[in-house]
């Protein structure tokens, strides 16, 4: 019988902090494709592969860490979980709380969540609380709720989130048969870059791989605290998923950048939207704006002559484009070609 992917916790159990008696939740997360991107490879003169995290059950990489954090919460006897979110964490938390039978409360910056993500939290039965503030305000409230009430926090400050998310680095190595030379990804709250770096180090330390990649992270220009070297009070970007000014995993991300000999730089909203278009039109992968920040960064660094020739480069695209069609469609002329139901009219419309 063909092997059925069992989700990241079962597939990578040996590398995760669960005991034999722990219940492991799964919605089939992980096992996402690593897709060669010839159009990008020829544009930057390297061997570029895209890790397509939008193919996870709720359409983003968050499902890896949520499977892990929600399993831990369930095994610990929690009844309610809470998270702050720019949209994807809440979608994922809502889905995994549903399968775990737990109550889920999500704190969202009012008016700054893509419609698809809001819909996900609603249909999975989470209690939505919209906060008149940004993500950083929401996270502060979530942390305090956790400290003062019997609710489990499932943001990436919960170490079990990073445990699950590090499995993406394992998958990249398993697919390539080695670690890449450079791994690129968007940076918001900075959990993911920290988790990948942990995963790459653990595989190297276990002797599965011989080397470590340089970690390259990219933030949106007006929401780039790592580039500024300090928190940003009023982050702003079209890429709402990474509209974050005070990343929680600050020290871990700085260590990932510096210990790997990598970098964290900024890209403009225009570069992000351009990269989103190129991914869709030239590679065939539709991602949400934040997810295109890594590709935008790769193109930017290539423009500066900083991409080593023939390097093996993996770029994580973190979330599915279908989550935020409003932003994607706003970049296109939507004037439809309307014809009568007639072959001749169709042929004429096609220029035949
Ligand atoms: N890409 C997408 C699509 C995201 O949703 C996020 C974070 C990131 C990148 C950045 O990852 O925070 O680990 O550095 N979204 C969080 C959320 C904040 O609430 O969904 P990070």
Contact present, 40 and 303 (Cβ < 8 Å): no
- Low-confidence winner among 2-11, 140-149, 296-305 (lowest mean pLDDT): 2-11
* Residue 310, pLDDT above cutoff 90: yes
Q: How far is the CA of 187 from the centre of ligand 1 (A)?
A: 7
Q: How many CB atoms lie within 10 A of CB 331?
A: 13
pLDDT at 350: 96
Residues of the chain with pLDDT > 70, as a percent, come to 100
* Residue 1, pLDDT above cutoff 80: no
List own/partner pairs for 339-348 with CB under 8 A and 24 or more apart.
none
* Residue 2, pLDDT above cutoff 80: no
pLDDT tens for each residue of 199-232? 999 999 999 999 999 999 999 999 999 999 999 9
- Which residues make up each annotated binding site for pyridoxal 5'-phosphate? 88, 188-192, 318
Ligand 1 atom with the smallest distance to the CA of 165 is 13
Residues with CB under 6 A from ligand 1: 60, 62, 85-89, 156, 186-192, 241-242, 288, 290-291, 318-319
pLDDT at 3: 86
pLDDT at 92: 98
Q: Burial of 208 by CB count in 10 Å (0-12 exposed, 13-18 middle, 19+ buried)? A: middle
Contact present, 268 and 297 (Cβ < 8 Å): no
Rg, C-alpha atoms of the chain: 20
Contact present, 72 and 39 (Cβ < 8 Å): no
Question: CB within 8 A of 160, min separation 6: which ones?
Answer: 17, 65, 68, 69, 71, 72
Mean pLDDT, to the nearest integer, of 71-91? 98
Mean pLDDT, to the nearest integer, of 103-131? 98
Six token digits for residue 189: 């709250």
CA–CA dist 144, 149 (Å, integer): 8
């Amino acid at each position: 019988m063909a092997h059925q992917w069992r989700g990241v916790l079962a597939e990578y159990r040996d590398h995760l902090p669960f005991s034999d008696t722990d219940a492991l939740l799964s919605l089939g997360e992980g096992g996402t494709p690593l897709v060669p991107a010839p159009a990008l490879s020829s544009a930057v003169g390297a061997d570029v592969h895209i890790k397509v995290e939008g193919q996870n059950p709720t359409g983003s990489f968050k499902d890896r860490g949520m499977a892990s954090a929600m399993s831990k919460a369930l095994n610990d006897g929690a009844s309610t979980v809470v998270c702050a979110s720019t949209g994807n964490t809440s979608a994922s938390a809502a889905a995994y709380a549903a399968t775990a039978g737990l109550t889920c409360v999500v704190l969202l910056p009012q008016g700054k969540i893509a419609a698809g993500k809001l819909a996900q939290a609603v249909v999975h039965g989470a209690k939505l609380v919209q906060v008149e503030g940004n993500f950083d305000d929401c996270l502060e409230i979530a942390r305090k709720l956790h400290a003062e009430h019997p609710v489990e926090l499932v943001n990436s400050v919960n170490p079990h989130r990073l445990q699950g998310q590090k499995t993406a680095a394992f998958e990249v190595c398993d697919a390539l048969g080695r670690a890449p030379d450079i791994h690129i990804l968007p940076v918001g709250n900075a959990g993911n870059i920290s988790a990948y770096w942990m995963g790459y180090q653990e595989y190297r330390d276990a002797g599965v791989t011989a080397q470590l990649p340089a970690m390259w992270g990219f933030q949106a220009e007006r929401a780039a605290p790592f580039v500024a070297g300090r928190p940003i009070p009023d982050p702003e970007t079209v890429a709402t998923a990474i509209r974050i000014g005070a990343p929680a995993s600050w020290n871990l991300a700085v260590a990932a950048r510096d210990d790997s000999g990598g970098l964290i730089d900024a890209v403009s909203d225009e570069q992000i939207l351009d990269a989103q278009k190129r991914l869709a039109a030239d590679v065939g992968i539709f991602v949400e704006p934040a997810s295109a920040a890594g590709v935008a960064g790769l193109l930017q660094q290539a423009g500066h002559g900083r991409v080593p020739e023939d390097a093996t480069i993996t770029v994580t695209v973190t979330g599915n484009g279908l989550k935020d069609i409003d932003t994607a469609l706003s970049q296109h002329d939507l004037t439809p070609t309307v014809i009568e139901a007639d072959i001749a009219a169709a042929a004429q419309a096609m220029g035949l």
